[in-house]
A and B are shown apart, each in its own frame.
Chain A
Amino acid sequence: MSVEHPDQRTVEQLLGREPESSQPAPHDPGDGSLIDDPALEAPLVLGGRSLHEVTEIVCGYAERPAPKWWLPALLVSASVAGLGTMMILYLIITGVGVWGLNNQVNWAWDITNFVFWIGIGHAGTLISAILCLFKQKWRTAVNRSAEAMTIFAVTCAGIYPAIHVGRIWFIWMVFPIPNANAIWPNFRSPLLWDVFAVSTYATVSTLFWYMGMLPDFATLRDRADRRLRRAMASGGARSLPDTLRAYIYGVFALGWRFSNRHWHRYEVAYLILAGISTPLVLSVHSIVSFDFATSVVPGWHTTIFPPYFVAGAIFGGFAMVLLLLIPARELLPNFKDLLTLRHIENMAKILLVTGMMVGFAYAMEFFVAWYGANEFEFYVFMFNRAVPDWLHESGAPYWWAYWTMIFCNVVSPQVFWFRRCRQDVRIVWGVALLVTIGMWFERFVIIVTSLHRGWLPAQWHMFYPTIVDILTFVGTFGIFMTLFLLFLKFLPIFPMAEIKAVMPQADPHPDPEEAPAMAGARGDDPEAAGGAAPAPAPAHPEEGR
Chain B
Amino acid sequence: MTQLSATQYKRRLKRIAEHPAMSAENITADRASMDKAAAIMIGIGALLLALTAAGAVIVNGRHALASYAVGVYAVTAISLGAMFWVMVFELVRSGWSAGVRRQFENVMMNIPLCVVLIAPILIFELAAGGVLFHWMMGDADEYLVNKKSAYLNPAFLAVRFLLYGGIWILLAMKLWGYSMAQDQTGDRYLVNKARFTSSWGMLLFALSVAFFAFDFLMSPDYRFFSTMWGVYYFAGGTFSSIAVVAIICCLAKFFGRMTGAITAEHTHDMGKLMFGFTVFWGYIAFSQYFLIWYSNIPEEVAWYTHRKENGWEVLAWLLVFGHFLIPFIILLQRPVKRSLVGLAIVGVWLLVMTTIDKTWIVRPMVYIRDFAQNDPGPAGWWLDVVAAAGVFAVWGGFLVRRIARVPLIPVRDPRLLKALKHKNYV
Q: Which residues of A approach B to under 8 Å, CB–CB?
A: 1, 3-8, 10-12, 14-15, 17-24, 26, 29, 32, 35-41, 133-136, 264, 267-268, 271, 278-279, 282, 286, 290, 293-296, 301-307, 353, 356, 360-361, 364-365, 368, 371-374, 417, 513-514, 516-517, 519-520
Q: Is B345 an interface residue (CB 8 A)?
A: no
Q: What chain B residues lie within 8 Å of A293 (beta carbons)?
A: 291, 295
Q: Is B3 an interface residue (CB 8 A)?
A: yes
Q: What chain A residues lie within 8 Å of B189 (beta carbons)?
A: 21-24, 38
Q: What chain A residues lie within 8 Å of B294 (beta carbons)?
A: 290, 294
Residue of A nearest to B406 (CB): A7
**Is B284 within 8 A of A11, CB to CB?**
no
Shortest CB–CB separation between residue A85 and chain B, in angstroms? 37
Shortest CB–CB separation between residue A189 and chain B, in angstroms? 11
**Is B28 within 8 A of A7, CB to CB?**
yes
Q: Is B113 an interface residue (CB 8 A)?
A: no
For B392-426 the 0/1 string (1 means CB < 8 A from A) is 00000000000001110001101101000000011
Q: Is B207 an interface residue (CB 8 A)?
A: yes
Alpha-carbon separation in the docked complex, A6 to B404 (Å) = 10
Alpha-carbon separation in the docked complex, A497 to B186 (Å) = 38
**Is B12 within 8 A of A39, CB to CB?**
yes
**Is A21 within 8 A of B188, CB to CB?**
yes
Quick one: which of B148, B291, B415 contacts A305, CB cutoff 8 A?
B291
**Is B148 within 8 A of A5, CB to CB?**
no
Alpha-carbon separation in the docked complex, A5 to B27 (Å) = 11
B220-243 interface (Cβ within 8 A of A): 225-231
**Is A304 within 8 A of B412, CB to CB?**
no
For B22-45 the 0/1 string (1 means CB < 8 A from A) is 101101111110000000000000
**Is B417 within 8 A of A368, CB to CB?**
no
User: A286-B287, A294-B291, A304-B228 are contacts. A364–B210 as well, Cβ < 8 Å?
Assistant: yes
Alpha-carbon separation in the docked complex, A286 to B228 (Å) = 13
Shortest CB–CB separation between residue A79 and chain B, in angstroms? 43
**Is B426 within 8 A of A24, CB to CB?**
no
- 25 sample A-B contacts, Cβ–Cβ < 8 Å, listed by A number: A3-B24, A3-B25, A4-B32, A5-B24, A10-B184, A10-B411, A14-B411, A18-B10, A19-B9, A22-B193, A23-B3, A26-B2, A29-B2, A37-B188, A38-B93, A40-B3, A293-B291, A296-B297, A301-B291, A303-B228, A306-B228, A371-B214, A516-B1, A516-B4, A520-B1
Quick one: which of B190, B191, B229, B411 contacts A11, CB cutoff 8 A?
B411
Q: Is B369 an interface residue (CB 8 A)?
A: no
Alpha-carbon separation in the docked complex, A26 to B415 (Å) = 21
**Is B414 within 8 A of A38, CB to CB?**
yes
Shortest CB–CB separation between residue B237 and chain A, in angstroms? 16
**Is A19 within 8 A of B185, CB to CB?**
yes
**Is B192 within 8 A of A36, CB to CB?**
yes
**Is B190 within 8 A of A22, CB to CB?**
yes
User: A7-B183, A38-B189, A307-B284 are contacts. A371–B14 as well, Cβ < 8 Å?
Assistant: no
Alpha-carbon separation in the docked complex, A19 to B16 (Å) = 13
Q: Is B206 an interface residue (CB 8 A)?
A: yes
Q: What chain A residues lie within 8 Å of B118 (beta carbons)?
A: none
**Is A264 within 8 A of B1, CB to CB?**
no
Shortest CB–CB separation between residue B20 and chain A, in angstroms? 14
**Is A267 within 8 A of B425, CB to CB?**
yes
**Is B144 within 8 A of A373, CB to CB?**
yes
**Is A8 within 8 A of B24, CB to CB?**
yes
Shortest CB–CB separation between residue A406 and chain B, in angstroms? 17
Q: What chain A residues lie within 8 Å of B292 (beta carbons)?
A: 303
Residue of A nearest to B292 (CB): A303
Shortest CB–CB separation between residue A407 and chain B, in angstroms? 19
Q: What chain A residues lie within 8 Å of B371 (beta carbons)?
A: none
Alpha-carbon separation in the docked complex, A301 to B9 (Å) = 55
Q: What chain A residues lie within 8 Å of B228 (beta carbons)?
A: 303-304, 306-307
Alpha-carbon separation in the docked complex, A115 to B95 (Å) = 37
Shortest CB–CB separation between residue A13 and chain B, in angstroms? 9
User: A10-B183, A38-B414, A39-B414 are contacts. A516–B291 as well, Cβ < 8 Å?
Assistant: no
**Is A303 within 8 A of B291, CB to CB?**
yes
Known A-B contacts: A10-B184, A35-B2, A371-B225. Give 11 more (CB < 8 A).
A11-B22, A19-B186, A23-B189, A136-B92, A267-B425, A279-B283, A295-B295, A301-B291, A304-B227, A304-B228, A356-B206
Alpha-carbon separation in the docked complex, A374 to B185 (Å) = 57
For B138-165 the 0/1 string (1 means CB < 8 A from A) is 0000011001100100000000000000
User: A302-B227, A303-B288, A373-B144 are contacts. A24–B192 as well, Cβ < 8 Å?
Assistant: yes
